Amino acid sequence: MHLILGGARSGKSRFAEDRINHAGGGTYIATGRAWDTEMANRIELHKSTRGKIWQTIEEPLDLCAALSSCNNRDGAKPIMVDCLTLWLTNLMLEDRDIDAEFGRLCDFLPALDVPVLLVSNEVGFGIVPENAMARVFRDHAGRLHQRIAALADQVTLVVAGIPMSVK
């Protein structure tokens, strides 16, 4: 399990994609929802840059089900989840129990028998946001990253497209 953190436009998804391309392809679990044109364009751009050696699953909420559907299949092709922060956004918009969802994911991940690369935005290095929802979001994101990082074999921080090894 590999947690890949990075800022906006840091090349974190590209880094994960490159690793899976070198492994001959895999499964891309897209958590993003096209709730506006800006986002729709980003999703399309991401799709168009991936090749046919990828299978894509779109799953905004039930990440464990999406991961589970990849288990014991396809000769252990690696999975890329892009990204945890969009998944968190969706959970919050649906008013889910965030800690319960995090617990479910963290209980499930060690049982996966294929390599998984989890991509997420590091969002905690700015000024405290004035927006209360944004404060809650970055607190959740920080806690999730800590939990996943504790379980992960590798943690990478991508800066300007270049990986820095964290763990």
2 has catalytic annotation: no
- Check the annotation: does 30 bind a ligand: yes
Find, among 31, 43, 39, the residue nearest to 87 by Cα: 31
- Check the annotation: does 10 bind a ligand: yes
Q: Could you say which of 2, 22, 46, 145 is catalytic?
A: 46
Residue 5 Rama label (left phi>0; alpha psi -120 to 50; beta): beta
Report, in Å, the least distance between residue 137 CB and a second copy: 7
Residues interacting with a second copy, by CB under 8 A? 3, 5-11, 38, 122-131, 134-135, 137-143, 145-146, 148-150, 155, 157, 159-162, 164, 166-167
Phi, psi of 48 (to 5 degrees): -70, -20
CA distance 83 to 5: 10
Smaller CB distance to a second copy: residue 39 or 111? 39
Report, in Å, the least distance between residue 31 CB and a second copy: 15
- Check the annotation: does 19 bind a ligand: no
Q: In what order do the strands lie in the sheet with 54-58?
A: 54-58, 26-30, 79-82, 116-121, 2-6, 154-159, 162-165
Residue positions forming the annotated binding site: 6-13, 30-32, 47-50, 58, 82
Residues catalogued as catalytic: 46
